[in-house]
Amino acid sequence: MALTEWVAVAKVGDLDDNDMMMVTAGPEEILLAQVGGQYYAIDNWCTHAGGMLDQGILHAQNLEVECPLHEGYFHLESGAARVPPAEEDAIAYAVKVEGDDILVGPKDG
Ligand code: FES
């Protein structure tokens, strides 16, 4: 599912640089990552077999997250599946900061 509106999911300071965490936006469980001061958000559930990406490994140099179950990789900005067995792209979200709040929303809205 995709978000249809902006949702505050965390506070600035909840997440260190070069780190990631799971956040929720209504029913959606989303991986929020910060790399080089930029925030990125994609679905937290691996499209291969439902691994929880927040339990995986952040490869900050390539803007990728590695799934903890079978080592599939996803690009944090686009959600693109980069390394098999991940084949189906993850939904990617837009992220913005307003005051103290980190918000995620639809990429195209
Ligand atoms: S569940 Fe993520 S690579 Fe298999």
Look up the CATH number of the domain holding residue 72.
Answer: 2.102.10.10
10 C-alpha vs ligand 1 centroid, how far in Å? 26
User: What's the structural domain count of the chain?
Assistant: 1
Cβ partners under 8 Å of residue 102, min gap 6? 8, 9, 10, 11, 12, 14, 15, 32, 39, 95, 96
101 C-alpha vs ligand 1 centroid, how far in Å? 31
Task: Examine residue 82 and state whether it is found in any structural domain, yes or no.
Answer: yes
Please name the residue whose Cα sits nearest to atom 4 of ligand 1.
70
Is residue 46 in contact with ligand 1, taking CB distance under 6 Å? yes
Residues linked to residue 104 through DSSP beta bridges, in sequence order? 7, 95
Is residue 10 in contact with ligand 1, taking CB distance under 6 Å? no
Task: Examine residue 1 and state whether it is found in any structural domain, yes or no.
Answer: no
Range of the domain at 83: 7-106
* pLDDT score, position 3: 86
* CA 68 – CA 81 distance, rounded (Å): 14
**Residue 29 corresponds to which amino acid?**
E
Distance from the Cα of residue 70 to its chain's centroid = 18
Distance from the Cα of residue 16 to its chain's centroid = 14
Task: Examine residue 2 and state whether it is found in any structural domain, yes or no.
Answer: no
pLDDT per position as a tens digit, 58-86: 999 999 999 999 999 999 999 999 999 99
pLDDT per position as a tens digit, 20-40: 999 999 999 999 999 999 999
* pLDDT score, position 108: 76
Helix (H, G, I), strand (E, B) or coil at 61: helix
Model pTM score:
0.96
Task: Indicate whether 109 pLDDT > 60.
Answer: no
Is residue 72 in contact with ligand 1, taking CB distance under 6 Å? yes
CB 80 within 8 A of CB 72: no
